[in-house]
Chains A and B, each alone.
Chain A
Amino acid sequence: MEENNMRKVIALIHLSLDGFAAGPNDELDWISYDDELEKYAHSMHDLTDAVIWGRRTYQGMASYWLTVPGDPNSTPAALEHARWLDNATKVVVSRTLDRIEWNNTTNTVQIKDNIAQEINKLKQQPGKDIWFLGSIQLAQTFMQLGLIDEYRININPTILGKGKLLFGDLKEKMNLKLIERKVFQSGVVALRYSPNKA
């Protein structure tokens, strides 16, 4: 029962109807991203105050989001996300990086080993929930280790035919509990699940 007081790790994932998280070359243009979905995704800003990435995602995010505040063409929603990222604790899972930099801020955490132990330590610290935004590979690692407490799966009204499967490499079946279903104008169905530990 004490888990209720711990911070949750929440993964927000866009899936095609055939279970792909990205096209064969990491394409994401099939995601029915509109104002409604953006608003739903950005509702995570109120819920969470930390983000988890792998190395490559971190590098990609840093090279983009750090430029957003200085770019006159940035949308209000992008500026909001950039501001949230500045304030959030940035947790990066990487053995090879020397250090994690983000505008000279100190709210960064690098995890090199003992992922489960380190993440569970974070969950016990005070704070809001934690937004998992890592790659498909890192998501699979986290799933295997049972570190994800909530899945927000947005099922897009598209059959891609080929691409990168989100759940390609799980060793064991995982039963989930449906928490909520939302339907958007675009036909995206947002499903929230928690792992069923019973």
Chain B
Amino acid sequence: MVFNMVTLEGFFEGANPWAIDWHRVDEEFNTFAIEQLNSLDAIVFGRLTYEGMASYWPTSAAIADNPDIADKMNSTPKIVFSRTLDKVEWNNTRLIKDNIAEEIRKLKQQRGKDLIIFGSGKLTVSLLNLRLIDEIRNIVVPVILGSGRPLFEGVQGQLDLKLVKSRTFQNGNVLLCYQPNVSQ
């Protein structure tokens, strides 16, 4: 499962890495985020997203700003896919260096709750191309950036989806949940 906040044009970050000042986060979103984190076995990242998250959530600033989410983010098991990282220091994090597809298949076969990918554009696209993603969850923020990084850049071939859920938030965010169309 892959979860992201995106702009109306499908960007998950602006022109620069971590340009996410357009995110709209409030009480209602936090409630949703905690419920989502509670429904998971692990969060999955690529290196860049991992580094950004790992340098934020354990800090006292994050814990002061958003104690509930910080607690969840720090305690939930995390998996990082990276060939270049040597070690991971964020609490409850496991590093996987090779055979991403095989590792993901193995994880999916284990009994348990869902795995979710946050951010991690490259990882998401490679897993989409391997058809290893079972659900795409986008929160569409009511903003158009004009320039930025498309979440699905590099997806090969047209991928038809089935809308399985949608929800409107008070602040204008719209959650859209899709599954790859199995009839393909």
Residues of chain A at the chain B interface (Cβ within 8 Å):
15, 17-19, 30, 143, 153, 155, 157-161, 165-178, 181, 183, 187-189, 191, 193, 196
Contact = CB atoms under 8 A, between A and B. Distances in A.
Interface in B134-184: 136, 138, 140, 142-147, 150-163, 166, 168, 172-174, 176, 178, 181
Q: Which residue among B10, B138, B153, B161 has the maximum number of chain A CB atoms within 10 Å of its CB?
A: B10
6 contacts: A17-B161, A19-B8, A159-B161, A167-B146, A187-B163, A193-B142
A159 B168 contact: no
B11 A19 contact: yes
B160 A175 contact: no
B128 interface: yes
Nearest to B128: A159
A171 B144 contact: no
Interface string B117-128: 000000000001
Given A17-B178, A159-B152, A167-B9, A172 B146 contact: yes
Interface residues of B, number: 37
B22 interface: yes
A166 B142 CA distance: 15
A21 to B, nearest CB: 10
B162 A178 contact: no
Contacts of B161: 17, 157-159, 187
Interface in B99-133: 128
B158 A178 contact: no
A181 B174 contact: yes
B8 A167 contact: yes
Contacts of A181: 166, 168, 174
Contacts, number: 105
A158 B158 contact: yes
A101 B11 CA distance: 41
Interface string B1-25: 0000000111100000000001000
Given A159-B161, A183-B163, A187-B162, A170 B174 contact: no
B144 A161 contact: no
B155 A189 contact: no
Contacts of A160: 158
A174 B160 contact: no
A155 B147 contact: no
Given A18-B10, A165-B9, A175 B163 contact: no
Nearest to A153: B8
A176 B145 contact: no
Contacts of B154: 161
Contacts of B145: 167, 170, 173
Given A167-B9, A176-B144, A177-B172, 7 more contacts: A17-B176, A18-B152, A19-B11, A157-B181, A171-B146, A173-B143, A173-B146
Contact of A159 (B155, B166, B173, B174): B155
B178 to A, nearest CB: 6
Nearest to B151: A18
A178 B172 contact: yes
* 6 interchain residue pairs of minimum CB distance: A170-B146, A19-B10, A187-B163, A178-B172, A19-B9, A176-B142
B155 A169 contact: no
B180 to A, nearest CB: 9
A161 B157 contact: yes
Contact of A177 (B142, B168, B178): B142
